[in-house]
A and B are shown apart, each in its own frame.
Chain A
Amino acid sequence: MDNTLLEVKNLKTYFFLDEGTARAVDGVDFEIKRGQTLGIVGESGCGKSVTARSVLRIVPKPGRIVEGEITLHRLVAKQDGSKMTDLIRLTEVDPMGSLMRGLRGSEMALVPQEPMASLSPVHTIGDQIGEAIRLHQKVSKAEARAKTIQMLELVGFPRPKQRVDAYPYQLSGGLRQRAVIAMALSCHPSLLIADEPTTALDVTTEAQILKLMRSLQQELGMAIMYITHNLGVVAQMTERVIVMYMGKVVEEANVDTIFHNPLHPYTSALLRSIPRLGMKARERQRLASIRGTVPDPYAIPKGCSFHPRCDKKIRGVCDQQEPTYIEVEPGHKARCVLYKQ
């Protein structure tokens, strides 16, 4: 059986601004298997959210997908009850057309970065969750409400029967994020796109939400595209990881390989920047932060975009030629001149 859920090939999403063209996503390839969690890591501004929005086809103006293919392998039930996959080329459908709207929220659901700002302040959470249910399922208002309460219970809402009529400002950040997760899961998506879902939360709440997402994934069997800049979370949540830098994927491997055998100098630098338990205070202070900052997206450096910050750079090579993305060992790809096929 076809085990692939989503394929992204050479995706390029640019923003056409007065200051110039921001190449937010500049040739991204990856694949997500059914039920798998793929982590996308990278510093802020490297194009993680734009990748997620491209998949959902909600890239805001003046941005647009300029190249590449995104294919969703949708499972559809046949008359005799067996299932077949239906390939939908997302890059070719009308982003606001009925096909794409039918997929958004039902096949692919978003858990956004800011639970505080991601719910309408003037509508109850029950209204906002129930709306998603009624949009994709043929149910009455009363059934949608019952289902909303059931979803709130599933995500660990205390007293869901009363809380369903609460407004977002009456809830803590953790509860709001649970409400958003309940909304995302309400139509049983096959892909959950979680864009830094815990960044705005405190550490304890973050741990609870991560645990919740993990257990719900096992229960419901969906795939997760987990976006984060936190490598600790990657270790906890994901099976496969892609590392992004300036709109490009620089490395892809299984999560263990990324931590124990990173190939790309950027990945190594990211790993050196995580604090570890048992580190001495003085060491922790000297925790390597990656030298320099992410360059302007309008002025991507020539050659390898990471070379100005790289401690392994080769003069005359890295600043001249753009490295190709190669499979260095089975299932482990990197984009760096240090490696040959």
Chain B
Amino acid sequence: MLAYIVRRILIMIPTLFLISVISFALIQLPPGDYLTSYVAQLRSMGDNIQQEAIDAMRDRYGLGQPVYVQYFKWIEGIVTRGDWGQSMEWQKPVSELIWERMGLTVVLAVFSLLVSWLIAIPVGVYSATHQYSMPDYAMSILSFVGVGVPAFLWALIIMYFAQTQLGMNVGGLFSQQYLEAPWTWDRVVDLLKHIWIPGLIVAIENTAGEIRTTRANLLDEINKPYVELARAKGLTENRLIWKYPVRVAMNPFFSTVGWSLANRISSITLMSVVLSLQTTGPMQLRALLSQDMYLAGSFLVLLSTLTVVGTLISDILLAWVDPRIRMEA
């Protein structure tokens, strides 16, 4: 098992390298020298920047040197100093801007994943074990609606109802007073109060699909001889269903967890613009529009890395739940 994990991590290296090259190419994309325009911008705002500071920066990013040198200087900064470059628009180091937003995006993605599993698995199991019953039909119709309606529409519908019927303000992840506040326990509580609506919205569109996957996978398993033998042992129906076929039917969920997380991150990007959430989405969009390339490139590297890590987690989980794969490795 350990050898398997190590091998999977080694396989990640070329992928990560490729991601960094593509992201770097993106940073290089806008015409002109990033530093020159940065200095010009600062000067135009009346900031009197020292020539030494400019030279130090030029040296730090290897500007004026061949592209590969620039690339290695960039990587070196990230790996050794956690220096992701400078955001032109925010006039701050990128590293000061991204971490909270990355964290919130991941928290929201994981939260919505857990919510949708918590709903999808029991409902899917019920549907499969009560095939062709009224609740099963009702569930099928609901989940078709869930799949068919895009998430941003759900967001608008839920926002409308929360605001007009419940009198709640659903935009954002924090109340006004905690928006820029440092992390305290109260801020965490405030986040938990706000996160469940966007979490639910992101969960909805995926939940419907997951209910149907659970149902279909379980229906494939439920008539297999090993289930009948478990029944012939004298187990109760509930216990045998949850121990045997559900366990096997869940494997595809584990194997796609990384992929679903990546998928959710892209839904969150869109959702965050609609719901004005302080996640990566809106900032990334703005960085791209204003050609704030170090910031945009950093998001690209981090979000892609997250996908790769998600896939790694999937593989490890799958090996853990399915002994056949564990042994092959």
Contact = CB atoms under 8 A, between A and B. Distances in A.
Interface of A: 56, 58, 60, 96, 101-106, 109-110, 112-114, 117-123, 128, 131-132, 135-136, 167, 169-170, 180, 183
B218 to A, nearest CB: 14
Nearest to A117: B225
Nearest to B247: A122
Interface residues of B, number: 24
Contacts of A117: 224-226
30 contacts: A58-B231, A58-B232, A60-B223, A60-B228, A96-B236, A96-B237, A101-B234, A101-B235, A101-B236, A102-B234, A104-B231, A104-B233, A105-B233, A105-B234, A110-B229, A113-B225, A118-B226, A119-B226, A119-B229, A120-B230, A121-B322, A122-B322, A122-B323, A123-B244, A136-B234, A167-B323, A167-B324, A169-B323, A169-B327, A183-B233
A82 to B, nearest CB: 27
Contacts of A103: 234
Contacts of A118: 225-226, 228-229
Contacts of B229: 110, 112, 118-119, 180, 183
A122 B251 CA distance: 10
Nearest to A166: B323
B35 interface: no
Listed from nearest, the 9 A-B pairs whose CB atoms lie closest are A105-B234, A110-B232, A105-B233, A104-B234, A118-B225, A117-B225, A101-B234, A167-B323, A118-B229
Nearest to B222: A60
B76 to A, nearest CB: 46
A170 B235 contact: no
Interface of B: 223-226, 228-237, 243-244, 247-248, 251, 321-324, 327
A104 B232 contact: yes
B234 A135 contact: yes
Contacts of B223: 60
Contacts of A132: 233-234
A180 B233 CA distance: 11
Given A56-B232, A135-B235, A121 B248 contact: yes
Nearest to B323: A167
A332 B15 CA distance: 76
A109 B229 CA distance: 9
A289 B243 CA distance: 45
Nearest to B321: A122
Given A117-B226, A122-B247, A169 B232 contact: no
B223 to A, nearest CB: 7
B233 A135 contact: yes
Contact of A106 (B228, B234, B244, B327): B234
Contacts of A183: 229, 233
Contacts of B322: 121-122
Nearest to A167: B323
A339 B228 CA distance: 40
B248 A120 contact: yes
Contacts of B224: 117
B248 to A, nearest CB: 6
A114 B232 CA distance: 14
A184 to B, nearest CB: 9
B217 to A, nearest CB: 13
A112 B229 CA distance: 7
Nearest to B226: A120
A123 B234 CA distance: 18
A110 B231 CA distance: 10
A199 B233 CA distance: 22
A296 to B, nearest CB: 22
A193 to B, nearest CB: 8
B3 to A, nearest CB: 18
A121 B237 contact: no
A193 B118 CA distance: 40
Contacts of A96: 236-237
A267 B78 CA distance: 83
A130 to B, nearest CB: 11
Contacts of A113: 225
Contacts of B244: 120, 123
B62 to A, nearest CB: 53
Nearest to B248: A122
Nearest to A186: B233
A170 B328 CA distance: 11
A114 B225 CA distance: 7
A167 B231 CA distance: 20
Contacts of B251: 122
Given A131-B233, A135-B233, A167-B323, 12 more contacts: A104-B231, A104-B233, A112-B225, A112-B229, A118-B229, A119-B226, A120-B244, A121-B323, A122-B251, A122-B321, A132-B233, A169-B327
